[in-house]
A and B are shown apart, each in its own frame.
Chain A
Amino acid sequence: MSTPEIVFAGSGGGALTQIADYEAVGGFAALAKARAMTPDEVIAELDASNLRGRGGAFFPTGRKWSFVPKPDRIAKPHYLVVNADESEPGTFKDREIMLRVPFRFLEGCLIAAHAIESKHVFVYIRGEYEQEFEVLVAALEQMKARDLLGDVTVVVHRGAGAYICGEETALLESLEGRRGQPRTKPPFPAIAGLYASPTAVNNVESITTATAVIELGGAEYAKLGVENSTGTRVFSLSGNVVNGGNYELPHGFPLRDLIYGVGGGIAGGRTLKAVIPGGSSTPILTAAEVERVTLDFDSLTGAGTAIGSAAVIAIDDRCCMVQLAVRVSQFYEHESCGKCTPCRVGTRWLTSILQKIEDGRGSQADMDLLLSVAERINGKCLCPLGDSDAIAVASYVDKFRDEFQAHIDEGGCPLHGSSSLDHVLAPVAMHTHHHAREVVPL
């Protein structure tokens, strides 16, 4: 089927890193159009498009911008902060957007800055994306040479390895030169964000898509996709599929067609066991559920999960679900910033209990303890990092309880020796973000 390209339009599968090439496919027309409009008119187009945030929370972009007070109401500088700290396991779309269409992204930054009446843009890019950082800086130089920035300054700020900085208030703390720990909300960033000033924080794909919304017009953009999930989405497909990669498709695309069609099916002729549909934080789907859902907000929410960051991880029948739970939980344990006790301590407990079950030392009481700890993390912290661990692990238990039970009944892992995640090492010799006391394994 033919699919419209919005984000990657004009790139022809390659990269538009020279400004002349981008202009040849209509680049910067949207910026000129937006600058001829009032900020409120730009926001009205975004509202008409119903573009919703691509970072994971799916919050309407236009509404987010409209929350930033007018300069005459708060006489402080206004800031646009772009979240390019993509770190959710399974997600790798923003890097490809920055590599292939850096100008469309930067054009979107200037459009957003115009909409919220800001002269200062900060792009917070994850430290591991060195090449992407260089591409953005080179693109900015070309735009400066053309005087496209006007009186707006754009600073590309590199992170230094901390998943938590993808959480918007932790990101702002980090950008202010502090440890990346989430803030209490309210106040929300729109009122008191960067340097306690009005701030909009948007994801890379949202900002890049905003360029297309202005170019096409909001109503036209809204014709793509499905109700409540307009437009296209860059889906990151990974795991045990033949063709992993980023695919721009309209919202509402059937999940099974992404995996078996676009993705070429399950590698090695094996069978699909489960799919994580929206990044590691989202509840897992069984192979049977995969047949029934489409890739949009309503369908995935209806199936008890979420579209999240649109990162689809396919898992074949070799994988032990307890090992998967251990590995996912290790990640969140490592990435906990340590600020809230339920997350700092709870993620460690989840990992320890899961490891005990995997090793065949688990009892029935450990299953209850596992779910009880998950319950005690969920919703009790400043940010959703701990919840992500709790919700993901609880979903594995819910959907694959027999497999957890078999570990307890058989006193060991039924798939040991053949599981694709056998012995996978969690990171060692990285410092944890917090310095909790050494805990003796359960």
Chain B
Amino acid sequence: MIPLYDRIQELKAMYPDPRSAVMPALQLAQERHGGWLPEQAFREVADALDLTPAYCLSIASFYDMFRLEPVGEHVIEVCTNISCGLNGAQQVVEAFASELGLGAGETSGDGAWTLRTVECLGGCGWATVVAVNNRHRLHVQAADVPGIVAELRGESA
């Protein structure tokens, strides 16, 4: 695997100002650190871009997709905005909660699952939208939830 520092240099070259690479660099660092940004990740990104770790943290703390705490191997994000809400998103959230034994916003003790409710995922006409590890599943109903969980458990096994 190409070292993170070198990959960030490639990202830097895409922009007139290296600062512009901070978001893609943080995205990459997050992938390399198991889906979240520990303190070390900020030092690595800062070093590669000649910024300070504090500056990098100020960017990460602004955007929802940067995670400042560890997440599970599988991250389940249920959209509960207007159109999904009108089409049973809350029942979908509750089905995941009962299937996984987790509340919204929680990560399981074994590090396998994170369940979150999120703002509009941009799939309103195909409600309810659930992002499973960033891939969107459309038209999800509460009855589909056990199947989705079983499928993901199978992938991990």
Contact between chains at A89 and B82 (CB < 8 Å): yes
Can you name the residue of chain A whose Cβ is closest to the Cβ of B58?
Answer: A179
Bound Cα distance A195, B80 (Å): 36
Bound Cα distance A87, B27 (Å): 19
Flag whether B108 is at the interface (Cβ < 8 A).
no
Flag whether B104 is at the interface (Cβ < 8 A).
yes
Contact between chains at B65 and A424 (CB < 8 Å): no
Chain A: interface size category: 35 or more
Mask, A400-432, CB within 8 Å of B = 1, is: 000000000000000000001111111111110
Contact between chains at A92 and B64 (CB < 8 Å): no
B126 to chain A: which residues have CB within 8 Å? 92, 244-245
Contact between chains at B121 and A128 (CB < 8 Å): yes
Flag whether A256 is at the interface (Cβ < 8 A).
no
B127 to chain A: which residues have CB within 8 Å? 238, 244
Contact between chains at B83 and A244 (CB < 8 Å): yes
Contact between chains at A276 and B82 (CB < 8 Å): yes
Contact between chains at A428 and B104 (CB < 8 Å): yes
A87 to chain B: which residues have CB within 8 Å? 119-120, 122
Q: Answer whether A315 and B86 are a contact pair too, CB < 8 Å, given A157-B24, A331-B119, A431-B61.
A: yes
Q: How many A-B Cβ pairs are below 8 Å?
A: 176
Bound Cα distance A131, B131 (Å): 12
Partner of A195, one of B17, B82, B121: B17
Bound Cα distance A149, B122 (Å): 30
20 A-B pairs whose Cβ atoms sit less than 8 Å apart in the complex: A87-B122, A92-B124, A92-B126, A95-B122, A95-B123, A120-B16, A128-B134, A129-B122, A157-B20, A160-B23, A175-B20, A179-B62, A236-B124, A238-B124, A244-B83, A334-B119, A421-B85, A426-B80, A431-B64, A433-B62
Contact between chains at B119 and A180 (CB < 8 Å): no
Partner of A160, one of B65, B87, B122, B125: B65
Contact between chains at A89 and B86 (CB < 8 Å): no
Bound Cα distance A238, B85 (Å): 11
Bound Cα distance A100, B27 (Å): 26
Bound Cα distance A331, B124 (Å): 15
Contact between chains at B120 and A421 (CB < 8 Å): no
Contact between chains at B22 and A238 (CB < 8 Å): no
Flag whether B5 is at the interface (Cβ < 8 A).
no
- Which residues of chain B in 91-140 are interfacial with respect to chain A, using CB atoms and an 8 Å cutoff? 93, 104-106, 116-127, 131, 134-136
Known: A195-B16, A427-B116. 19 other contacts (CB 8 A): A77-B16, A127-B27, A131-B135, A158-B24, A179-B59, A180-B62, A238-B124, A239-B83, A276-B82, A313-B83, A327-B81, A331-B120, A335-B119, A337-B62, A425-B104, A427-B117, A430-B118, A431-B61, A433-B62
Can you name the residue of chain B whose Cβ is closest to the Cβ of A430?
Answer: B64
Q: Answer whether A161 and B17 are a contact pair too, CB < 8 Å, given A245-B126, A425-B93, A425-B117.
A: no
Taking the closest CB of chain A, its distance from the CB of B58, in whole angstroms, is 7
Chain B: interface size category: 35 or more
A240 to chain B: which residues have CB within 8 Å? 86-87
- Which residues of chain B in 9-68 are interfacial with respect to chain A, using CB atoms and an 8 Å cutoff? 14-17, 19-24, 26-27, 58-59, 61-66, 68
Bound Cα distance A162, B63 (Å): 6
Flag whether A191 is at the interface (Cβ < 8 A).
no
A89 to chain B: which residues have CB within 8 Å? 81-83, 119-120, 124
Taking the closest CB of chain A, its distance from the CB of B54, in whole angstroms, is 13
Contact between chains at A431 and B68 (CB < 8 Å): yes
Contact between chains at B19 and A126 (CB < 8 Å): no
Bound Cα distance A311, B87 (Å): 16
Can you name the residue of chain A whose Cβ is closest to the Cβ of B139?
Answer: A244
Q: Answer whether A155 and B15 are a contact pair too, CB < 8 Å, given A177-B20, A420-B85, A422-B90.
A: yes
Contact between chains at B82 and A280 (CB < 8 Å): yes
Flag whether B8 is at the interface (Cβ < 8 A).
no
Contact between chains at A427 and B118 (CB < 8 Å): yes
Flag whether B89 is at the interface (Cβ < 8 A).
yes
B117 to chain A: which residues have CB within 8 Å? 425-428
Bound Cα distance A344, B118 (Å): 20
Partner of A428, one of B26, B65, B105, B124: B105
